[in-house]
Structure 1
Amino acid sequence: MVVATTIQIEKIREVDIPVIDLSGKQSKVAKLIVKACEEYGFFKVINHGVPHHIIKNMEDESFQFFDKTLPEKMELVGYGSKNIGFSGDTGELEYLLLQTNQNAIDDTSKFLRVMVG
């Protein structure tokens, strides 16, 4: 078993993000998640049981989706964007909210495949 002891940083498309190993002791993992949320606002998890090829496909399709024009992205229910920041650290955050019930996931993934295709 790999035990989570520190937050490692991984580069994905030129962005450093914290990586949390879920195979560690639950109390330690929880502390690392809190730390990543406080210091970065987001994180990537590993050793969660989802096969690598599924993650790779989702990441590839996500990058393709967010590279689309705003009107194209707005066609998908769940897409949103928001201006963020107050003290000179402003920017725009784009997000895609996906539902967690199996039927909604199946329908959304079929729609994404058509849009990204």
Structure 2
Amino acid sequence: MHNDFNSQLLAELAAAQAAGEPVVLAVIVKARGSVPRHVGAKMLVYENGRISGSIGGGEMEARVVQEAAVSLSDNQPRIVPYTFIDPERGDPGVCGGEIEVYIEPYLPPAAV
């Protein structure tokens, strides 16, 4: 099931690229402790904010969507850390773990 979902998501990414639609691929690349999703979880974020897939939901996923918008505007990939310890301190959850999310923009080729 996991591989089928990954194949479907990557096919969706390829279709977006073929259509010239800006999209970001977000992938959990590091996870430690109690976290909502684990290494390899993927999500696509479209320019209009629509998502496909999930890397955990909630506040953390909303923050990844915001970071994806920045990535689309500056066309720069990044790795963003998130902790799930203390919401009062601004953390996006209380699971107690930590993750790092790789965010990679896919933009249409520049017109010449």
Note whether the superposition's TM-score is higher than 0.5. Answer: no
Considering Cα pairs closer than 8 Å and 6+ residues apart, tell me whether 1 or 2 has the greater RCO.
Answer: 2
Larger Rg: 1
User: Going by fraction, where is strand more abundant, 1 or 2?
Assistant: 2
Higher helix share: 1
**TM-score, normalised by the number of residues in structure 1:** 0.29
TM-score by length of 2: 0.30
